[in-house]
Structure 1
Amino acid sequence: MFEFSTLTTFVAVVLGLFLIPGPAVLLVLTRTMQGGRRTGVLTGLGIACGDFVHALAAAVGLSALLMTSALAFNAVKLIGAGYLIYLGIKALRAPPADPSLPKVPSVSAARAFWQAIPAEVLNPKTALFFLAFLPQFVHPERGSTLLQFMLLGAIFVVMSAAYTTLIVMVMRPLSHIVKRLRWIGRWQGKIIGSIFIALGLKVAMQHR
């Protein structure tokens, strides 16, 4: 269904995005510092569940669009590519992000999990990202688009859960790196911007 190059590109881009400390990662770090590893892991799993909801919504909606019109689906892909380029330019021009850990009230591990799900589900930027990101790796000529969307979404979610869990497990020995997130923040926009622009341009060139 997927070519090896398509899957490797998808995994590489997702890894690149994960390696930049974003709000979700900072929330996981905060919860870990507040409640320990179990709370941090469950927070990451809650965020992954929220991402799965977005992936499912994108899969169902975009697959239905393809069944209605292949032309409309291709238009969505191009619009998505344009949106990624826009995000990339915006990230490149934005001032360095403040990497400070967010201040949130302490909660139990179970509550941290349930709070993380709606926090991610109700994030409109995440929804737009999935709508723009996933279609770039879906090719209708290679089989069921719904299955392709679901597989890509599942890969993203599993990688997200594994990454946040890994962060929690190694947080203590890497605490000195966490303290230097302000330095990393200076490059965050440049790296994310470059990834988004490269992906958007790649898709735009393929449609010519």
Structure 2
Amino acid sequence: MYWTEFFTVALIHLLAVASPGPDFAIVLRESVGFGRRAGIFCALGVGAGIFIHVAYSLLGIGLIVSQSIVLFNALKWLAAAYLLYIGIKALRARPAAAGSGEISLDADARTPAKAFSVGFITNGLNPKATLFFLSLFTVVINPQTPLAIQAGYGLYLAVATALWFCLVAVLFSQDRVRAGFARLGHWFDRVMGAVLVGLGVKLAFSELR
């Protein structure tokens, strides 16, 4: 009975998740800079962040946030500040030691918990995701659809997002790919930093529509 609605949700989500944005940029950076394990844990963090959006959408809090300019701007600026913070850190990357042949984004090794938290925060603070899930749960999904079914949609969205970015992590953490980026040295990190800063600035000046 709800298969048509589910496939509509799945298709819209596929188009949205495949579009490059902060989630893609951060998973790419973790995967290339710290390897497959970090990339996968970051992807799992992004997927877990989806549960935040699903939860407030089901509770109706997303509607309140979207209708409050103050609350929306607070979330927007917090997310922009976080992207600017990690972007600026990346911009300050120093050249690797001569002959190291590896990318080094930080002196400290990336722990799974750190990689997971970076992905989780990046997705959870994204106000664009707030509006996406609000639209999804108020326009695409019929309000008469049982809450349990809607929760099932949310579980699918979280799992599908995690799997998609795990695939991204696996692809970009391959030795050949990492070796190619390694030849760019610290310039890769600086480019990714510029991308994240650009996304932060764009987000900061975006308007509630």
TM above 0.5, yes or no, is yes
| Maintained 8 Å contact 1:49/1:157 | yes
- CA drift of 1:22 comes to 0.1
Q: How big is the shift at 1:79?
A: 1.3
4+ residue stretches of structure 1 with deviation over 6 A? none
Residue 127 (structure 1) shift? 1.0
Give the C-alpha shift of residue 179 in structure 1: 9.0
1:142 aligns with 2:132: no
- Partner amino acid for 1:192? M
Map residues 1-208 of structure 1 onto 2, 5 A cutoff.
1=9, 2=12, 6-10=16-20, 14=24, 18=28, 21-24=32-35, 44=36, 46-47=37-38, 49-66=40-57, 67=59, 69-70=61-62, 71=65, 75-97=74-96, 100-101=101-102, 119-120=111-112, 122-123=113-114, 125-133=115-123, 135=126, 137-138=128-129, 139-144=132-137, 146=154, 148-164=157-173, 167-168=174-175, 171=176, 178=179, 181=182, 183-207=183-207
- Please report the TM-score for the alignment, with normalisation by the length of structure 2: 0.56
State the alpha-carbon separation in 1 of the partners of residues 19 and 91 from structure 2.
22
Code of the residue aligned with 2:33 in structure 1: it is G
Aligned residues: 162
Question: Which stretch shows the higher mean deviation, 145-154 or 57-66?
Answer: 145-154
**CA deviation vs aligned residue, 1:41-66 (integer Å, no higher than 9, x gap):** xxx4x556533542343222343345
Task: Tell me, in whole angstroms, the C-alpha distance in 2 between the residues paired with 1:49 and 1:179.
Answer: 20
Gaps of 5+ in 1: 25-43, 103-117
SS at structure 2 position matched to 1:159: helix
Aligned identity (percent) is 18
The TM-score normalised by the length of structure 1 is 0.56
Deviation at 1:191, TM superposition (A): 0.4
**Matches of 2:189 and 2:80 in 1, distance apart?**
18
User: Is there any run of 5+ residues in structure 2 with no aligned partner, and where?
Assistant: 1-8, 66-70, 104-109, 138-152
C-alpha contact (below 8 Å) 1:84/1:196 kept by paired residues: yes
- Alignment CA distance shift 1:50-1:132 (3 Å): closer
Computed over aligned residues only, the root mean square deviation of the Cα atoms, in angstroms, reads 4.1
Aligned to 2:6: none
